């Protein structure tokens, strides 16, 4: 009886191995396709309806009494695509009487959001800066950012002046002084 059961197990395992070998390419293809389709969905940011609402909600949860200056958010087209984007200056927040709670000797955090044509925004960068100007140079709008000297590989006290252009979703450094 034991020999018959063992023989039956060998036949069943052999049949399972044959089925596995037969269907392995199909299963591997399904796993590969599932992995390729699932990866972009997890890699993308969720779009925000409005960065101002998002940032104010963050500070409302962090501060008992948040206050926002007029320059807290600036809406301009930062990547020259004709769609109005947003820049949030966290230095223009007063959190329980403390101005710019995340500001340091390197400046205050600025969050840069791009708006997509389908609607909604996503953050493309955060930078610690003292200030910035958004000016036209050679026909293109560029940022001239006043930053801590270490960003220009310097140890003196004069602020680093970095000129940056936004192309698509990337910041491209044009010059550093």
Give the per-residue pLDDT at 16.
52
pLDDT at residue 14 in the model: 52
DSSP 1-34: -HHHHHHHHHHHHHHHHHHHHHHHHHHHHHHHHH
Which pair of tokens denotes residue 140? 């293109």
Average pLDDT over residues 130-153: 91
Number of CB atoms found within 10 A of residue 97's CB: 9
Considering the chain, what percentage of its residues have pLDDT values greater than 70? 75
- Model pLDDT, residue 2: 42
In tens, the pLDDT along 85-113 reads: 999 999 999 999 999 999 999 999 999 99
At residue 47, the 3 state secondary structure works out as coil
Q: Could you tell me the CA-to-CA distances from 58 to 73, 95, 101, 114 in Å, in that order?
A: 14, 11, 13, 19
Helices first, then strands: H and E counts in the chain: 2, 11
Given pLDDT bands bounded at 50, 70 and 90, which one contains residue 3? Answer: very low
Mean pLDDT of the chain: 81
3-state SS, residue 79: coil
Q: State both tokens at 147.
A: 């930053």
Between CA 65 and CA 97 the distance in angstroms is 8
């Amino acid at each position: 009886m034991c020999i018959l059961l063992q023989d039956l197990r060998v036949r069943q395992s052999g049949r399972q191995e044959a089925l596995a070998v037969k269907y392995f390419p199909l299963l591997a293809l399904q796993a590969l396709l599932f992995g390729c389709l699932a990866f972009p969905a997890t890699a993308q940011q969720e779009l925000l309806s409005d960065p101002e609402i998002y940032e104010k909600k963050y500070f409302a949860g962090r501060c008992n009494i948040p206050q926002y200056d007029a320059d807290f958010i600036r809406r301009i087209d930062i990547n020259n695509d004709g769609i109005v984007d947003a820049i949030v200056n966290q230095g223009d927040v007063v959190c329980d009487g403390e101005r710019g709670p995340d500001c340091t000797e390197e400046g205050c955090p600025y969050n840069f959001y791009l708006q997509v044509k389908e609607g909604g925004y996503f953050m493309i960068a955060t930078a610690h800066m003292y200030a910035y100007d958004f000016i036209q140079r050679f026909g293109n709008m560029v940022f001239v950012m006043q930053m801590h000297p270490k960003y220009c590989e310097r140890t003196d006290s004069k602020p680093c002046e970095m000129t940056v252009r936004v192309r698509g979703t990337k910041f491209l450094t044009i010059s550093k002084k």
